[in-house]
Amino acid sequence: MSKLLVTGGAGFIGSNFVHHVVGNTDHEVIVLDKMTYAGNEASLAGLPADRVRLVVGDIADATLVDELFSQVDAVVHYAAESHNDNSLHDPRPFLDTNIIGTYTLLEAARKHDKRFHHISTDEVYGDLELDDPARFTENTPYNPSSPYSSTKAGSDLLVRAWVRSFGVRATISNCSNNYGPYQHVEKFIPRQITNVIRGIRPKLYGAGENVRDWIHADDHSSAVLTILERGVIGETYLIGADGEKNNKDVVELILETMGQPRDAYDHVTDRAGHDLRYAIDSTKLRTELGWMPAYSDFETGLANTIDWYRNNETWWAPTKDRVEAFYASKGQ
């Protein structure tokens, strides 16, 4: 049994990982989360108090981080400002958390010699053309487009430098777009599901041809635990489940699954610098560490996600109006 520190563990993917760890191991978990607009304690509901403890604080608080690192065996770092649209509006928190926050954690990992796993994104590689047969691999050059993805790229490079220069025992994973329960309603899929529930027409940026490579959050969590247990120090692993779909198809599937006409959506102002296509080749993770995704059927995973938002309005309703007001102010 070990004790893990999970940063950002009250967010969408971090909370999924905490549930996964509790259900599949005997590890104890300390969650360090600043509880920004994206953190929600309700996402940790039902977890045993003798195995999971929430500490509210900032990953950039070196004193707090130092104290917590002394109490754990390993650290899994999810905490981030995570939304591209917010980064176009106000980049500063992205620098503070994604760069300075990660630096603060790395310094503590170095001082305490703790195993460190850094959660990152496929967006560090930029985007692909729609008709390009290529997919991202661990050797694709970094070419981030947005303030969000550039700060994630910067954080990845810090981790690599701390491995090489200081011998920090770290691994990195870069995952594609996650979907599933507990995702904030600012993000594409939950925004459209909750719009339909509220009687608002879904909003598609531009022509809707942009492609994202969808993976269920449960599969992301199983991959991260696999890397934590069997990953080679200093290595990067791409996580993906062969789930490429364009946004138009996803909106139409949501509408159809929710009993609405497939064309009952609006085209709105496109995102500035909008990445065209992401696609992950996860061969290394599958062949070297033996990981496989459990969700092969996007339609079923999406239908279950829709049911979850229908049954858990108290979880998302408090944030919905503010999010829609923000988008409306941008013509989106």
Query: Minimum CB separation from ligand NAD for residue 264, in Å?
Result: 26
Token pair for residue 91?
Answer: 């980049």
Query: Residues 269 to 288: which contact ligand NAD by CB under 6 A?
Result: none
Query: Minimum CB separation from ligand NAD for residue 188, in Å?
Result: 9
Among all residues, whose Cβ is closest to ligand DAU? 121
* Interface pick for ligand NAD out of 30, 44, 79, 189 (rule CB under 6 A): 79
Token pair for residue 193?
Answer: 């599901």
Q: Partners of 118 in the beta sheet?
A: 77, 172
Query: Minimum CB separation from ligand NAD for residue 8, in Å?
Result: 3
* Interface pick for ligand NAD out of 22, 80, 172, 185 (rule CB under 6 A): 80
Which residue is catalytic, options 85, 123, 186, 219? 123
Nearer to ligand NAD, 100 or 264 (CB): 100
Query: Minimum CB separation from ligand NAD for residue 23, in Å?
Result: 18
* Interface pick for ligand NAD out of 84, 86, 87, 97 (rule CB under 6 A): 97
Q: What residue 58 binds from ligand DAU, ligand NAD, none (CB within 5 to 8 A, per partner kind)?
A: ligand NAD
In whole angstroms, give the CA distance from residue 65 to residue 58: 8
3-state helix, strand, coil in the chain (%, to 5): 45, 15, 40
Whether residue 186 lies in the annotated active site: no
Query: Minimum CB separation from ligand DAU for residue 54, in Å?
Result: 22
Nearer to ligand DAU, 104 or 173 (CB): 173
Looking up tokens 């909750």 gives 194
Report the interface residues with ligand DAU, using CB under 6 A.
Answer: 82-84, 121-123, 176-177, 187-188, 191, 203-205, 210, 212, 247, 271, 278
Token pair for residue 234?
Answer: 């200093």
Interface with ligand NAD includes 13 (CB under 6 A)? yes
Which residue is catalytic, options 78, 148, 182, 237? 148
Backbone φ and ψ of 32, nearest 5°? -110, 115
* Exposed e or buried b per residue across 211-242, where buried means at least 16 C-beta atoms within 10 angstroms of its C-beta: bbbbbbbbbbbbbbbbbbeebeeebbbbbbbb
* Interface pick for ligand NAD out of 121, 140, 146, 210 (rule CB under 6 A): 121
Q: What residue 97 binds from ligand NAD, ligand DAU, none (CB within 5 to 8 A, per partner kind)?
A: ligand NAD
* Rounded (5°) CA angle 95-98-102: 120
* Interface pick for ligand NAD out of 21, 52, 60, 168 (rule CB under 6 A): 60
**44: CB partners within 8 A, 6+ apart:** 9, 10, 15, 18, 31, 52, 54
Angle between helices 102-112 and 147-166 (to 10 degrees): 20
Whether residue 148 lies in the annotated active site: yes
Provide the Cα torsion 4, 5, 10, 11; round to 10°.
-100
**267: CB partners within 8 A, 6+ apart:** 204, 205, 206, 207, 208
Whether residue 125 lies in the annotated active site: no
In whole angstroms, give the CA distance from residue 9 to residue 148: 19
Under the rule (CB under 6 A), what is the footprint of ligand NAD? 7-8, 10-14, 32-36, 38-39, 58-60, 78-82, 97, 101, 119, 121, 152, 175, 177-178, 184
Catalogue the active-site residues.
Answer: 122-123, 148
